[in-house]
Amino acid sequence: MKPMLLGYATPRGVQQMTREEARMLTHVNLAFGLIRDGLLSLSGLPDLRGLRDRLKELNPSLRVVLSIGGWTAGGFSLMSRTEEGRRAFGASVKKALDENALDGVDIDWEYPCSDEAGIDCDPSDRENFTLLLEEMRRAAGKDRIVSIAAGGGDYFVRDTEMDRVAAICDYVQIMTYDLNCFTHTTRHHTSLYAMEGSYPQGNADYCARIFEAAGVPREKMVLGVAFYSRKWTGVKDACHGLLQEAESIGGYGPSYQELRDGYLGKDGFVRYFDDTAKAPWLFDGSTFITYEDEASIQEKCRYVRDKGLRGLMYWEHSCDQSGTLLRALHEGLR
Q: So what's the pLDDT on residue 275?
A: 97
Q: So what's the pLDDT on residue 62?
A: 98
The per-residue pLDDT for range 138-155, each reduced to its tens digit, is: 999 999 999 999 999 999
Note the pTM of the prediction, 2 decimals.
0.97
Could you tell me the pLDDT band of residue 116, with boundaries at 50, 70 and 90? Answer: confident
Q: Based on the residue annotation, tell me whether 245 is a catalytic residue of this protein.
A: no
Q: So what's the pLDDT on residue 57?
A: 98
Instruction: Count CB neighbours of 97 within 10 A.
Output: 21
Q: So what's the pLDDT on residue 1?
A: 80
* Active-site residue (options: 21, 84, 110, 331): 110
Burial readout 176-213 (b: 16 or more C-beta within 10 A, e: otherwise): bbbbbbeeeebbbbbbbbbbeebeeebbbbbbbebbbe
| Cβ–Cβ under 8 Å, residues 74 and 116 | no
Q: So what's the pLDDT on residue 220?
A: 98
Instruction: Count CB neighbours of 101 within 10 A.
Output: 12
Q: Which CATH number fits domain 4-227+292-333: 3.30.1120.80, 3.20.20.80, 3.30.565.10, 3.90.420.10?
A: 3.20.20.80
Burial (0-12, 13-18, 19+ Cβ within 10 Å), 2: exposed
